[in-house]
Amino acid sequence: MKKEFVNTSILLAILFFAFAGRLAIDVFSSKTYDAEDNNKTLMRAASEINKNLPMTIDMDTVLVSTVGSGDTFRYLYKLINYHVDEIDLQDFNAGMAPRLFNWVCTSDTTAEFRKMKIKVVYSYVDFEDRKVVDIPIDTKECEQI
Protein backbone atom coordinates (compact mmCIF):
# COMPACT_ATOMS: atom_id res chain seq x y z
CA MET A 1 0.00 0.00 0.00
CA LYS A 2 1.37 3.38 -0.97
CA LYS A 3 1.74 6.14 1.60
CA GLU A 4 -0.31 9.23 1.08
CA PHE A 5 1.82 12.31 0.94
CA VAL A 6 0.86 14.55 3.85
CA ASN A 7 -1.04 17.68 2.73
CA THR A 8 0.57 19.75 5.47
CA SER A 9 3.95 18.96 3.97
CA ILE A 10 2.69 20.23 0.65
CA LEU A 11 1.41 23.44 2.19
CA LEU A 12 4.59 24.02 4.17
CA ALA A 13 6.67 23.47 1.07
CA ILE A 14 4.59 26.02 -0.81
CA LEU A 15 5.08 28.52 1.99
CA PHE A 16 8.81 28.06 1.57
CA PHE A 17 8.56 29.12 -2.06
CA ALA A 18 7.90 32.63 -0.76
CA PHE A 19 11.27 32.57 0.99
CA ALA A 20 13.15 31.10 -1.95
CA GLY A 21 11.41 33.41 -4.36
CA ARG A 22 12.31 36.42 -2.24
CA LEU A 23 15.98 35.42 -2.35
CA ALA A 24 15.79 35.04 -6.11
CA ILE A 25 14.08 38.40 -6.60
CA ASP A 26 16.95 40.17 -4.86
CA VAL A 27 19.14 39.07 -7.77
CA PHE A 28 16.89 40.43 -10.50
CA SER A 29 17.95 43.88 -11.60
CA SER A 30 16.70 44.25 -15.17
CA LYS A 31 13.13 45.00 -16.24
CA THR A 32 13.54 43.47 -19.70
CA TYR A 33 15.20 40.19 -20.44
CA ASP A 34 16.72 38.35 -23.34
CA ALA A 35 18.00 34.78 -23.47
CA GLU A 36 21.53 35.73 -22.38
CA ASP A 37 20.23 37.90 -19.54
CA ASN A 38 17.89 35.10 -18.44
CA ASN A 39 20.70 32.58 -18.27
CA LYS A 40 23.00 34.85 -16.25
CA THR A 41 20.21 36.04 -13.96
CA LEU A 42 18.92 32.53 -13.28
CA MET A 43 22.43 31.26 -12.56
CA ARG A 44 23.00 34.11 -10.09
CA ALA A 45 19.63 33.52 -8.42
CA ALA A 46 20.37 29.81 -8.02
CA SER A 47 23.80 30.59 -6.62
CA GLU A 48 22.32 32.95 -4.02
CA ILE A 49 19.64 30.49 -2.94
CA ASN A 50 22.13 27.61 -2.82
CA LYS A 51 24.20 29.50 -0.24
CA ASN A 52 21.39 28.75 2.24
CA LEU A 53 20.94 25.09 1.30
CA PRO A 54 20.24 22.39 2.15
CA MET A 55 17.25 23.70 4.07
CA THR A 56 14.64 21.69 5.92
CA ILE A 57 11.18 22.75 4.78
CA ASP A 58 9.19 20.43 7.02
CA MET A 59 9.53 17.01 8.64
CA ASP A 60 9.40 15.31 5.22
CA THR A 61 11.00 17.75 2.81
CA VAL A 62 14.45 19.28 2.30
CA LEU A 63 15.29 21.78 -0.42
CA VAL A 64 18.61 20.41 -1.65
CA SER A 65 19.57 22.72 -4.49
CA THR A 66 18.45 25.04 -7.24
CA VAL A 67 19.70 25.33 -10.80
CA GLY A 68 19.11 28.20 -13.19
CA SER A 69 20.10 27.72 -16.79
CA GLY A 70 18.79 28.75 -20.17
CA ASP A 71 15.07 29.29 -19.82
CA THR A 72 14.56 27.05 -16.78
CA PHE A 73 14.80 27.45 -13.01
CA ARG A 74 14.74 24.15 -11.09
CA TYR A 75 14.14 23.47 -7.40
CA LEU A 76 15.34 20.04 -6.20
CA TYR A 77 13.55 18.68 -3.13
CA LYS A 78 14.31 15.48 -1.23
CA LEU A 79 11.46 13.62 0.45
CA ILE A 80 13.50 12.30 3.36
CA ASN A 81 10.89 9.94 4.81
CA TYR A 82 9.63 8.44 1.57
CA HIS A 83 10.76 5.87 -0.94
CA VAL A 84 9.51 6.34 -4.50
CA ASP A 85 7.75 2.96 -4.35
CA GLU A 86 5.74 4.12 -1.32
CA ILE A 87 4.37 7.26 -2.97
CA ASP A 88 1.20 7.33 -5.01
CA LEU A 89 2.70 9.38 -7.83
CA GLN A 90 -0.65 10.19 -9.39
CA ASP A 91 -1.99 11.57 -6.09
CA PHE A 92 1.25 13.41 -5.39
CA ASN A 93 1.24 15.07 -8.80
CA ALA A 94 -2.49 15.81 -8.62
CA GLY A 95 -2.02 17.46 -5.23
CA MET A 96 1.10 19.44 -6.05
CA ALA A 97 0.78 20.54 -9.69
CA PRO A 98 -2.26 22.82 -9.32
CA ARG A 99 -0.86 24.44 -6.16
CA LEU A 100 2.51 25.03 -7.75
CA PHE A 101 0.94 26.39 -10.93
CA ASN A 102 -1.18 28.80 -8.89
CA TRP A 103 1.84 29.85 -6.84
CA VAL A 104 4.09 30.49 -9.82
CA CYS A 105 1.35 32.31 -11.74
CA THR A 106 0.05 34.56 -8.95
CA SER A 107 2.72 35.15 -6.32
CA ASP A 108 4.56 38.46 -6.15
CA THR A 109 7.74 36.52 -5.39
CA THR A 110 7.61 34.77 -8.76
CA ALA A 111 6.66 37.85 -10.81
CA GLU A 112 10.16 38.13 -12.28
CA PHE A 113 9.99 34.52 -13.46
CA ARG A 114 6.77 35.41 -15.29
CA LYS A 115 8.37 38.51 -16.83
CA MET A 116 11.24 36.35 -18.04
CA LYS A 117 8.76 33.82 -19.49
CA ILE A 118 10.74 30.87 -18.20
CA LYS A 119 9.90 27.38 -17.01
CA VAL A 120 10.01 26.64 -13.29
CA VAL A 121 10.52 22.97 -12.49
CA TYR A 122 9.93 21.40 -9.09
CA SER A 123 11.87 18.14 -8.93
CA TYR A 124 11.42 15.63 -6.14
CA VAL A 125 13.62 12.68 -5.20
CA ASP A 126 13.16 10.12 -2.46
CA PHE A 127 15.51 9.50 0.47
CA GLU A 128 17.74 7.38 -1.80
CA ASP A 129 17.92 10.18 -4.42
CA ARG A 130 15.67 8.23 -6.77
CA LYS A 131 13.49 10.42 -8.95
CA VAL A 132 9.92 10.78 -7.76
CA VAL A 133 8.53 13.39 -10.13
CA ASP A 134 9.28 16.59 -12.01
CA ILE A 135 6.51 19.18 -12.05
CA PRO A 136 7.19 21.75 -14.77
CA ILE A 137 5.38 25.09 -14.80
CA ASP A 138 5.69 27.15 -17.97
CA THR A 139 5.15 30.77 -16.97
CA LYS A 140 3.88 31.50 -20.49
CA GLU A 141 0.78 29.52 -19.50
CA CYS A 142 0.15 31.96 -16.64
CA GLU A 143 -1.22 34.44 -19.16
CA GLN A 144 -4.20 32.11 -19.63
CA ILE A 145 -5.49 32.61 -16.09
Q: Write the single-letter amino acid at 23.
A: L
pTM: 0.81
pLDDT band at 36 (very low <50, low <70, confident <90, very high): confident
Classify residue 136: in a domain, yes or no.
yes
Residues of the domain holding 94: 7-144
Q: What is the pLDDT of residue 137?
A: 98
| Count of domains for the chain | 1
Alpha helices per DSSP H over 4-144: 7-25, 35-50, 89-106, 111-116
pLDDT of residue 144: 84
User: Is residue 66 situated within a structural domain?
Assistant: yes
pLDDT digits (tens, 9 = 90+) for 67-79: 999 999 999 999 9
CATH of the domain at 124: 3.30.300.250
d(CA 118, CA 138): 6
Q: Indicate whether 1 belongs to any domain.
A: no
Asked whether residue 2 is domain-assigned, the answer is: no
Residue 115 lies in a domain: yes
SS3 60: coil
